[in-house]
Structure 1
Amino acid sequence: MNRREAREKALQALFQLDINEQNPQDAIIHVLNEDAEKTDQFLEQLVYGAIEHKEEVDQIIKNNLENWTIDRIGKIDRAILRVAVYEMVHERTIPTNVSINEAIELAKIYGDDDSSKFINSVLSKVKDQLALE
């Protein structure tokens, strides 16, 4: 599984966890079509990392929203943002622009017509904030 596929599966797992309270491993297995043998270290890192750091990640998202609340963001967009912000903050070997571009591509596939612009806007602000730290 390449990193783009892992991000896509992580988005799907986080989306499921946002809808239903379930075990993260069950969500990962479900998005892998019940084949736990297909799991990927990067996929698990993204899912478990986003869950473990959810409060921090959500606060970063909240700090970079204009005229929005995190609860008002669609579940898909919120899951995309959580994966990307986790990656930007905690996976320092991945260039920030790669995380942003991958999130935008996921938004084009899974989000609505305005999702990619919204995701780009929020993540650009996050990038600027992280550069100041």
Structure 2
Amino acid sequence: MKRRTAREKALQALFQIDVSNTEPSLAIEHVLEGEPSDDYLKRIVLGVVEQKAEIDNLIIGNLEKWTLDRLATVDRNLLRMAAFELKFCQEIPGNVILDEAIEIAKIYGDDQSSKFINGVLSKIKDTLHNN
């Protein structure tokens, strides 16, 4: 499975977990739709679930005039996914993570999502780089 596909499916699984409190393993199984499992998909979903408090704090610290609860569910989970990758997947260049998140936001978010995601993730990337 390509990384883009793994990220899209991870977003779908995280959305399910966020909206309906689905068990992570069931959410992953559901989005795979019978396809073979993917290690990167699992790494993202389980990593976000395990590190959710730390990731949410990182996002909250870089939001302006927004609260995490007010964000669209797609945007919130896309930010969580990309923030996880920025913080815990150092083998992937930050610009690649941002580009992928922006492209996925264009597909799954609303008209403003990609600009919003770009702004918040750029701040998160700077925050992590300066620590």
Query: Which ranges in structure 1 are unaligned for 5 or more consecutive residues?
Result: none
Q: Which residue of 2 aligns with 1:5?
A: 5
Q: Measure how far apart 1:75 and its partner are.
A: 0.3
CA distance in 2, matches of 1:75, 1:41: 24
Q: Which residue of 1 aligns with 2:84?
A: 86
Letter in 2 for 1:48: L
TM-score by length of 2: 0.98
Identity %: 55
CA distance in 1, matches of 2:32, 2:106: 21
Is 1:99–2:97 an aligned residue pair?
A: yes
TM-score by length of 1: 0.97
CA distance in 2, matches of 1:118, 1:100: 12
Structure 1 moving runs of 4+ over 4 Å:
none
Letter in 2 for 1:111: G
Give the CA RMSD over aligned residues: 0.7
Q: Which residue of 2 aligns with 1:21?
A: 21
Q: What are the residue-to-residue correspondences of 1:1-133 with 2, within 5 Å?
A: 1-33=1-33, 35=34, 38-133=36-131
CA distance in 2, matches of 1:23, 1:72: 23
Query: Which ranges in structure 2 are unaligned for 5 or more consecutive residues?
Result: none
